[in-house]
């Protein structure tokens, strides 16, 4: 089959590790012809490029800046992506007859591109729903349901669903949410197609653990809890700060926060206040150091803002599971990531408004035997439920 994949994530190299590149490699290795269309922001000062690399055709489309920029430029650039992608596809891929187009959210503005490919080639379409917008923005008070911007994007969201022959959701709670809030969408086309990876074997080298901890002044005799990833509004950074404050005198544990995002400076101000002594905040680390650092910790942390009414399911979970780490998730009541973690017996959940409940989980996760057992459970659950082979089989079950 000729597969067209659309994403606003930067696809620099098919051999990079990630939920999309891993899935594309699976399609390639199963014998399909894969065409991946992704953006190239203008700050890179490079033109649109169509190139064949390692068995995959890449069309990298020059667009405006959508990351590391102000809200206005991001908004304008996001609105233009659809027309720029469509123009590039018509120019560079006009001779290709596609059998299947796969696309992820964000963004929700690919409807015209999908409609064009479906009409031209009689192709089928599969949506990987990773983000429920604009409701998530309403949850975080970015705008209201009565605003014109909400009504516009809600219309675009409905158009996208209408163009989708199948909708793959990250979890059962996401399936239920889509069906409950979109009466025009047939329940028969909505299914669980979870975040997934091609798991690497991660073996903890005690010498490397010691080296990296000593390099970054992380104690060897404490249980180290790590949060790695985006530090933005969706993570509910105020609750994370409250948890750090509540544990400043806890001598059993140490926190490592590593990442970037719109709320990084808020965390930086807190750390510079000198109110926390058993935690460190890291911004940009060398990629190799970052991965070794995260894998040298004991317990993975996940945070989601308490206000969410949509069921987020962060893909960060997979990297912790890959490293055989138990997970402590502090989320809103609508995400089912905590339910999955506790049913799989590889960690604990608490509500991201209850610091006391969070604190009650910490001593349990300082037990070395429990850490080992839950870590093994995490890896086993990953291999049984969240591999790209399983996602591939779910998608392709509709086209055999």
Spell out the domain ranges in the chain: 2-193, 206-385
- DSSP-derived pairing of the beta strands 253-260 and 223-230: parallel
Rounded Cα gap, residues 157 and 232, in angstroms:
23
Rounded Cα gap, residues 155 and 150, in angstroms:
8
Average pLDDT over the chain, rounded to an integer: 94
- 113, 89 in Cβ contact below 8 A? yes
pLDDT at 260: 87
- Residue range 118-138, pLDDT digits in tens: 999 999 999 999 999 999 999
Is it true that 2-193 and 206-385 share their CATH fold? yes
DSSP-assigned letter for residue 279: E
Residue 148, pLDDT > 90, answer yes
Rounded Cα gap, residues 54 and 91, in angstroms:
23
349 torsion bin: left (phi>0), alpha (psi -120 to 50), beta (else): beta
Domain 206-385, CATH number (from 3.30.70.270, 3.40.50.2000, 3.90.400.10, 3.90.280.10)? 3.40.50.2000
Lowest-pLDDT range, 87-91, 287-291, 307-311?
287-291
Taking each helix axis from N to C end, the angle separating 264-272 and 237-246, rounded to the nearest 10 degrees, works out to 20
pLDDT at 85: 96
Residue 246, pLDDT > 80, answer yes
Q: Which residue has the tokens 């979109």?
A: 182
Helix (H, G, I), strand (E, B) or coil at 369: helix
The average pLDDT across 370-396 equals 98
Residue 287, pLDDT > 80, answer no
Which percentage of the chain shows pLDDT scores above 70?
A: 100
Asked if the 2-193 domain carries CATH number 3.30.70.1140, the reply is no
Rounded Cα gap, residues 25 and 51, in angstroms:
16
- 141, 147 in Cβ contact below 8 A? no
């Amino acid at each position: 089959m000729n597969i067209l994949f659309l994403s606003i994530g930067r696809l620099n190299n098919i051999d990079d590790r990630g939920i999309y590149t891993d899935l594309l490699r699976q399609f390639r290795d199963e014998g399909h012809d894969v065409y991946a269309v992704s953006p190239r922001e203008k700050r890179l000062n490079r033109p649109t490029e169509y190139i064949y690399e390692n068995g995959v055709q890449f069309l990298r489309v020059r667009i405006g800046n959508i990351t590391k920029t102000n809200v206005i430029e991001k908004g304008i650039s996001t609105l233009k992506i659809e027309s720029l992608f469509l123009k590039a596809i018509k120019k560079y891929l006009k001779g290709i007859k596609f059998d299947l187009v796969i696309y992820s959210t964000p963004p929700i503005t690919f409807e015209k591109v999908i409609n064009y490919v479906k009409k031209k080639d009689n192709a089928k379409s599969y949506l990987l729903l990773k983000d429920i917008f604009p409701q998530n923005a309403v949850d975080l008070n970015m705008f209201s349901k009565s605003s014109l911007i909400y009504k516009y994007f809600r219309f675009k969201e409905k158009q996208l669903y209408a163009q989708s022959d199948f909708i793959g959701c990250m979890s059962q709670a996401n399936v239920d949410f889509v069906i409950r809030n979109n009466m025009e969408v047939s329940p028969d086309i909505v299914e669980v197609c979870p975040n997934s990876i091609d798991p690497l074997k991660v073996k903890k080298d005690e010498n490397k653990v010691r080296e990296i901890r000593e390099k970054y002044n992380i104690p060897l005799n404490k249980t180290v809890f790590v949060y790695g990833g985006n530090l933005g509004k969706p993570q509910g950074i105020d609750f994370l700060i409250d948890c750090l404050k509540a544990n400043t005198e806890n001598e059993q544990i140490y926190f490592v926060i590593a990442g970037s995002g719109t709320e990084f400076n808020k965390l930086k101000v807190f750390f510079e206040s000198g109110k926390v002594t058993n935690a460190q905040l890291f911004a940009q680390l060398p990629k190799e150091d970052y991965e070794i650092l995260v894998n040298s910790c004991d317990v993975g942390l996940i945070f989601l803002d308490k206000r969410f009414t949509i069921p987020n399911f962060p893909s960060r979970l997979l990297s912790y599971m890959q490293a055989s780490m138990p997970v402590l998730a502090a989320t809103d009541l609508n995400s089912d990531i905590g339910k999955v973690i506790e049913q799989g017996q590889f960690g604990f959940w608490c509500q991201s408004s209850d610091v006391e409940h969070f604190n009650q989980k910490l001593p349990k996760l300082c037990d070395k035997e429990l850490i080992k057992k839950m870590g093994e459970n995490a890896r086993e659950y990953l291999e049984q439920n969240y591999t790209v082979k399983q996602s591939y089989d779910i998608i392709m079950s509709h086209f055999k």
